[in-house]
Chains A and B, each alone.
Chain A
């Protein structure tokens, strides 16, 4: 028998007992539907996270901090003061005292093998922001990290090489600052109110170069370029002892992004030995991703359990049809059909059950998924631009159909072996 005939025969045999077949297909459908949805959820979220990693910073950046000393926990012993280490107490980090970095530290980090460059991550305290005749609003600024990609609503990304002060504002600031839309903010001047060491408030101006979309990470603050950061800090530290500015929460260092994971680990351990903790941007968001992956794995597990239950349905269905078709199998064998072809005929029927169940299941999941996407993204996740809660790629859908067909084949092999082993004489005997 030709393979095409086996497939066609298996397919039509499947519909001989319509009720039984549809019940089995429903069981497979449930499993495939769930698997497609959970998989779509997983890839939708991880695609978004990957995009966010791009927003947060470049792939070749290490965030370096001095090693902190916890003093907040009741069990912690009181630490001795070390005059060589500058520390600040951070309540936001659970009363952890972190060691701040100084220019000497930056110089030391630059000398570490594998570090291409290192810059202190500068911070500026802004009292308010405003534009034109708008009211004054609270705003926090963050230094733009070269290479970071933001989803922009309008304009372009700022550059640290720019010789003029530039700012990238979040889309939420558009209407408070008196702009009608994102486009009309581009090129406009914006003011930053800063109080100096003597207690006098003054303003620094910068040009709005771009407007960034809301995102999960790194989207809430105003991103400013180095030029503007320098201006703000110069104003802020006016009237203070020169050493005051020499204190940074962390530094950003760049390494060769093409190095292997092992080499990166080595680099990190060299930094640890020198007394600094380091993280890549991916490390920072990695834990979040691990949680999402874990949840998706658990959901996938449920889907697989549903498929396992369905595979017993397949076994049952096929055992019954082998039973019913005993004489037919005997006849086909008498007519010269080989045992291996009989096996293929019945396992083909199982694979067909898997194929139809998973095809219908994944098509339904894609349909339901796009409805969920539309509802969710127009309601409570509206602000997360670029998020596709459920993402379905043809490759992943195809592989789900493939997996289900594989499971169905395994389930069908037991009845199929039974059919293949049948003795034509026993099957044809009628007394």
Chain B
């Protein structure tokens, strides 16, 4: 455990509403995620796992506490820097894919590079590369809506990969897939983690998926109730 800290949350509290309707989604959570680690945030719905992921992904600010990325306090970053950071360092994989069904697979994969302002030829080259990594290069010209669920999730992974991220956030990545397709997607994600050293943060309620991670953080009612570290095999 000597790898540097990639993301650190310190006593993070997140509340919604005011007065009587005050709702505490996270009641003081501290975790330290190391570069190259795979971490599962596990819990039932309403446990605060999605809120924690949003905070770690810098999509939201904590009510109190601190989030640090590569040792730097995220609260000190300007909006522009936050946007650039999310674009360059993070990849997102969602249960519901969020693909544009009428656009081609290639167009969908390209989106993060388009946002980053990468030139056309370069982004097409990298999209083919990313699609090759998920073994879907032959579907580049197909419309996203014509793909199967497993293929869609592979497109989503290619989209997350295209920006060459250091952290991938996967929110219930296998939630919409049957178990055999789900296993394929899991293998793909853990491959990226082990072979490319991409830090993997998985939000799930699936214990089997969580067990494959280096560390499991169990959340309940906005608090960490259990943290299980798998024996390092290296």
Contacts and interface: CB of A to CB of B under 8 A. Distances in A.
Interface of A: 1-2, 5, 9, 16, 327-328, 330-339, 341, 424-425, 428-431
Given A336-B87, A430-B96, 17 more contacts: A1-B117, A2-B114, A2-B117, A327-B96, A328-B98, A331-B92, A331-B111, A334-B92, A335-B86, A335-B87, A335-B112, A336-B88, A337-B83, A338-B83, A425-B59, A425-B60, A430-B95
A327 B95 CA distance: 13
Nearest to B171: A428
Nearest to A427: B98
Interface string B40-80: 00000100001000100101100000000000000000011
A256 to B, nearest CB: 61
Interface in B90-127: 92, 94-96, 98, 100, 102, 111-112, 114-117
A5 to B, nearest CB: 5
Q: Identify which of A331, A335, A338, A428 gathers the most chain B CB atoms within 10 Å of its CB.
A: A335
Nearest to B94: A428
Contact of B116 (A327, A336, A428, A431): A336
A331 B59 contact: no
Q: Identify which of B60, B85, B96, B98 gathers the most chain A CB atoms within 10 Å of its CB.
A: B98
Given A331-B98, A428-B98, A431-B45, A9 B114 contact: yes
Contact of B112 (A336, A341, A429): A336
A338 B80 contact: yes
Nearest to B118: A2
A428 B88 CA distance: 20
B86 A334 contact: yes
A16 B59 contact: no
15 contacts: A2-B117, A9-B114, A327-B98, A328-B100, A331-B94, A334-B57, A334-B86, A334-B92, A336-B82, A336-B116, A337-B83, A337-B87, A338-B83, A428-B59, A431-B45
Secondary structure type dominating chain B contacts: helix
A338 B59 CA distance: 12
Contacts of B45: 431
B84 interface: yes
A332 B111 contact: yes
B111 to A, nearest CB: 7
A16 B100 CA distance: 10
Secondary structure type dominating chain A contacts: helix
Contacts of A335: 86-87, 92, 111-112, 115
A338 B79 contact: yes
A337 B95 contact: no
A332 B60 CA distance: 15
A68 B194 CA distance: 105
B114 A336 contact: no
Contacts of B57: 334
Given A1-B115, A1-B117, A2-B117, A336 B83 contact: yes
Contacts of B114: 1-2, 5, 9
A271 to B, nearest CB: 69
A1 B54 CA distance: 23
Nearest to B107: A12
Q: Identify which of A16, A333, A337, A339 gathers the most chain B CB atoms within 10 Å of its CB.
A: A337
Contacts of A341: 115
B96 A336 contact: no
B102 A336 contact: no
Contacts of A332: 111, 115
Contacts of A431: 45
Q: Identify which of A327, A424, A430 gathers the most chain B CB atoms within 10 Å of its CB.
A: A430
Given A9-B114, A428-B94, A334 B59 contact: yes
A413 to B, nearest CB: 20
A24 B29 CA distance: 51
A336 B84 contact: yes
Contacts of A338: 79-80, 83
A9 B113 CA distance: 13
B100 A424 contact: no
Contacts of B96: 327, 430
Contacts of B112: 335-336
B203 to A, nearest CB: 12
Contact of B115 (A336, A425, A428, A430): A336
Nearest to A17: B102
Contacts of A1: 114-117
A133 to B, nearest CB: 83
Nearest to A424: B59
Contacts of A430: 95-96
A338 B88 CA distance: 14
A368 to B, nearest CB: 35
A425 B53 CA distance: 10
A425 B87 contact: no
